[in-house]
Structure 1
Amino acid sequence: MDEPVDRPIQVGDAQLGVGLRPAPRRSKSQARVGASAWESRYRVLVVSSDVMATLLVIAAAAMIILRITRQPYFLHASGTAATILCVLPISRAWSQHVLGDGAEEYRRLVRGLLVSAVLVALAGILFGALDVQPWVFLVVPAVGVLALFQRYLLRQTLHRARRRGQCMLPVMAAGGPGTVRELIERTRADAHVGWRVEAVCTGERGSEKGVGDIGGVAVAGRLDQVADQVRRGGYRVVAVTPAPYWTPQRLQQLAWDLEGTGAEMVVAPVLMEVAGPRLNFSGVLGMPLLRVTAPAFTGGRRVIKDVVDRTLAAFGILLLSPLLLMIAALVKANDGGPVLYRQRRIGRDGDAFMMIKFRTMVVNAEAIRNELLAADEGAGPLFKMRRDPRVTRVGAVLRRYSLDELPQLFNVLSGTMSLVGPRPPLPEETLSYERAAQRRLLVKPGITGLWQVSGRSDLSWEESVRLDLRYVEDWSLALDLAILWKTARAVLGGRGAY
């Protein structure tokens, strides 16, 4: 642990004593009102936005259909609206636990709308109203588009507030010093998640060596005092991280002790980077087990990904062809050199391919590189400079907004790259790969990836590898779509690009 501290820390409007000194007890209303007020307001905003989207789209559709058919579809309109507004809460699309972060919020909304569409279609068949097709195939999807867009805007507003330190959930971290420190660092780096670790419990009876703090967060007590400290401090989340102290019996007892406190218990698995579709809960012989399935690198889902990649690449080339021609003309006019830059990169299973980009450097850039090695600012084996003298004026603009990478759409079309995947490495980079980094080569490299939307060139080498491995292990089509959407935002902001 770090240097001892002898000051109390604040949690909302309560003081929590450090070390093994108990914090002053607060009433349940005092402990929860500060943390739950904004949650209630946010939930009201989400529910209101869904209701508004439903009523607006259905009212507009009813008016349009009335103009076309001259028939009032009051029953169809009211029935569709009632179905959607009844199914969404049943589908737990308004559950407090999923609002504001993660893909589960969007999945539940889409699932609820799909069920609504099926129910409307079944009602049409059951009551002989065969003219429900527009409501099923047009109106309900339109409600989904508007509702998803509104939820996205609300989430961005919430994330901006969290980056300012507002709308955060006070967290008690309980575990080993190393795993607790990692949790603290991650919650600070990803403030949009809404967790703020405000106190720590660590160590067993007889093992404490005085009071102190971990990562700047005061230690409030031992692991056997978690429930007592939560009752006094009014924490909303108890994050249990790996520690030798935790046994199944102690975790179960902690869950019982936290009942009635208003705190949610979250247990961090040892496999920190495994998530998404690979994790499944199942019961065997009455025991809850967390199943970790093997990552899939081949099969039907990968075929679908390949088809989607090539289709979107072809569409993107057609749509962006005027921009591609304009950039090519600017690169040529800048110094008269070649428009494209071809570079040997390593793809799936270690196979080499020629990656193409718009040229952003002077023609003899590779020859000059050896003279600049002393000024290398890159992470790990990567060579990077924030102010690389080899970059041309046109190239600087192209790099800032990643326009130089647009020709890689032709690599995607040819099948050597994917739209989303790990960063395509240079051959010399792979020579220094450790075993973990080599797993990046199990899938096709991508034009963009988790590394692109999480900081780009500002990332450390270790963080870049961690993000790429997370993508390799936990890939899904939904993750691809989310990364593509976030890439557009990162590129427009020019964040981390040089």
Structure 2
Amino acid sequence: MSATSVPRARRRSAAPPSVDGWELFAPGIRGEGTAARRAWRSRYVRQSAILDAAAAAIAGFAGYYLWFVVFAAYGPRPPLWAVLVFPVVWVPVMLVARAYEERFLWIGVEEYRRVLNAAVLVLALVATVSWGLRLDVARGLVVVTLPLATLLTVSGRLAHRHWLRRARQRGEHLQTTILVGSRETVAALDEQLQRTPEQGYKVIGCCLPSRERSTGADAFNGLPVLGGVTDVVDVVHRFEVDTVAVLPGPEIHGSVLRRLGWQLEDTDAELLLAPAVTDVVGPRVHIRPVAGLPLLHMERPELTGVRRWTKELVDRSAAAMGLLLLSPVLLAIAVAVCLDSRGPVFFRQERVGRCGETFTMLKFRSMVQGAPKLVEDLTRADEGNGVLFKMRHDPRVTRVGRTLRRYSLDELPQLINVLRGDMSLVGPRPPLAKEVEKYGLDMHRRFLVKPGLTGLWQVSGRSDLSWDDSVRIDVRYVENWSLTFDVMILWKTVGAVLRGSGAY
């Protein structure tokens, strides 16, 4: 079997329900109605406003206490009740900054950008009012209170969003969705939405072009076929659909999309247009008007220049600091490895790095000596994804090695690789040469950057991923690399390591 033909791990049942019995596929959703399913949105907005007011009140009292009690600042001290003015100002300014609009909430970074805009607006408002009315405002109080309110507000919204994601993973607060497009594009988007249930899209069926419905099948890829491209509006009315996701195809051109948008204006359904290019997000994608047309402009990935040198500097500085701070832990692990079994402390292995150059990767030895030679004897017990050899209960792993692998402690010596410049703190997984021989064209994109000590692979399931998912995740990282992206992955790595999911 080739590397690209490994079957996907996530599939719906082989016997999908019929169109008339689609309630079996999405139980309890049809009878609710769009308005009932969306009722949680207004509650979410109100809860966000309450959280913001609470954050502002806490920041106000904390700023008052720190500035006038802890720091004992000189100057006129306002009465304590005056700090309650700050929440009264904070929430309306957030409203002016459009921080409560549903399109900016619960997904993407725009929600947090709106909070920062509100903070700047409050600062400008305080400066203008104090200057215009000649008020003696405690500047230190503003310096302490405003940043603290911003931090608490962003933290509250992060926690609120996390609560929503957990609820959606339990099947709550979902919006029914139909996919419109060719079989290939519909299948790809459906599988991607299945991988991210926290996004809240419950796919209940699809509408295919007429030339692809000639087979007369009631379902495809586990999805009921609810109609054709011209039947979308009827399907929306019939099944009270919340969202229509349209993908590019030969029968779905500009005039068809324009008419579909007009027709959906009389319904409660939202219209989403999926681009042909996937796994490209963030600042690389812009909509630019050209000759009256909204064209999607895709910037080149920024893998060179100042940003690359900044990443290099951050990597090596953090690796040096990490080795210094973790030296007692590294020494304790080295002693445990020596006492547990015979063999060297470190396991050295040739891996392929940036531009296809090989380097020696270091790890604490977690297996018995000579473990690589025993792989052939365990081939039948392989639980990997068709390319990578993995076993959940590998007999080659030592007692100490199980603990090291469970919490990824065996990978700490790779900080030395980062310090030497062979690896980065964040990047694709460093592959073996024999794995590279099985790579397709897409997978070679990963060699544009250095392999990482951690990466999207580690925070997305690690060894539990299929080969197709591993390829998609590595390419996605390269296509969307940024320093912010690295910080996000490092933050998620902490939770992934503590959970130990996919670590074996």
The TM-score normalised by the length of structure 2 is: 0.88
Q: 1:66 aligns with which of 65, 68, 73?
A: 68
Aligned residue number for residue 202 of structure 1: 208
Q: Which amino acid aligns with 1:142?
A: L
**Distance across 2 between alignment mates of 1:296 and 1:6:** 47
CA contact (8 A) 1:59 1:77 kept: yes
1:458 match = 464
Q: Does 1:409 align with 2:415?
A: yes
| Whole-angstrom distance in 2 between the partners of 1:117 and 1:313 | 38
Listed as ranges, the gaps of 5+ residues in structure 1 are 16-25
RMSD after superposition: 2.8
Counterpart residue number, 1:135:
142
| Of 125, 128, 151, the match for 1:145 | 151
User: Equivalents in 1 of 2:214, 2:472: separation in Å?
Assistant: 33
Are the aligned partners of 2:417 and 2:423 in contact in 1 as well (CA < 8 Å)?
A: yes
Give the 5 Å matches for 1:35-434: 35-67=37-69, 68-69=72-73, 71-73=76-78, 77=83, 81=87, 84-117=90-123, 120=126, 131-133=138-140, 135-136=142-143, 138-204=144-210, 208-210=214-216, 212-434=218-440
Which digits, 9 at most, give the CA deviation of each residue in 1:160-184, with x for residues without a partner? 2211211111112111122222222
Cα distance in 2 for partners of 1:42, 1:84 equals: 18
* SS across alignment from 1:266: strand
Indicate the larger mover: 38-47 or 274-283. 38-47
1:356–1:408 CA contact under 8 A, matched in 2: yes
Consecutive unaligned residues in structure 2, runs of 5 or more: 1-13
Equivalent pair of 1:4/1:211 in contact (CA under 8 Å): no
Specify the alignment match of 1:32 in structure 2: 34
The structure-2 alpha-carbon separation of the partners of 1:316 and 1:41, relative to structure 1 and needing over 3 Å to count, comes to farther
Distance (whole Å) between structure 1 residues aligned to residue 212 and residue 73 of structure 2: 81
> 15, 20, 23: which one pairs with 1:7?
20
After superposition, what is the alpha-carbon deviation per residue over 1:70-123, rounded to whole angstroms, capped at 9, x for unaligned?
642469956755554333233332221232233333333344334544554566
Equivalent-residue separation in structure 2 for 1:3 and 1:36 (angstroms): 27
SS of residue paired to 2:33? helix
**Shift in Å at residue 440 of structure 1?**
0.5
- The answer as to whether partners of 1:180 and 1:241 remain within 8 angstroms in 2 is yes
**Aligned pair in 2 of structure 1 residues 50, 410: CA closer, same or farther (>3 Å)?**
farther
- More off after superposition, 98-107 vs 78-87: 78-87
Report the alpha carbon displacement of residue 226 of structure 1 after superposing the two structures with TM.
1.1
Deviates more, 1:422-431 or 1:74-83: 74-83
Contact (CA 8 Å) 1:124, 1:132: kept in 2 or not?
Answer: no
Q: 1:212 to 1:108 in 2, by over 3 A?
A: same
Identity level (%): 42
Question: 1:474 offset after TM fit, Å?
Answer: 0.9
**Structure 1 residue 206 displacement after superposition:** 10
Give me the whole-angstrom Cα distance separating, in 2, the residues matched to 1:123 and 1:427. Answer: 66
Q: 1:353-405 deviations in whole A, cap 9, x for unaligned?
A: 22211111112223333433343332243222222211110001110111111
Letter in 1 for 2:20: R
CA drift at 1:186: 2.2
Q: Partner amino acid for 2:139?
A: V
Q: TM-score, normalised by structure 1?
A: 0.89
Q: Distance between the aligned counterparts of 1:171 and 1:326, measured in 2?
A: 53
Q: CA deviation digits over 1:296-321, x for unaligned, max 9?
A: 21012222222222333333333333
How far apart in 1 are the matches of 2:158 and 2:214?
A: 46
Change (3 A) 1:365 1:199: closer
Q: Paired residue for 1:19?
A: none
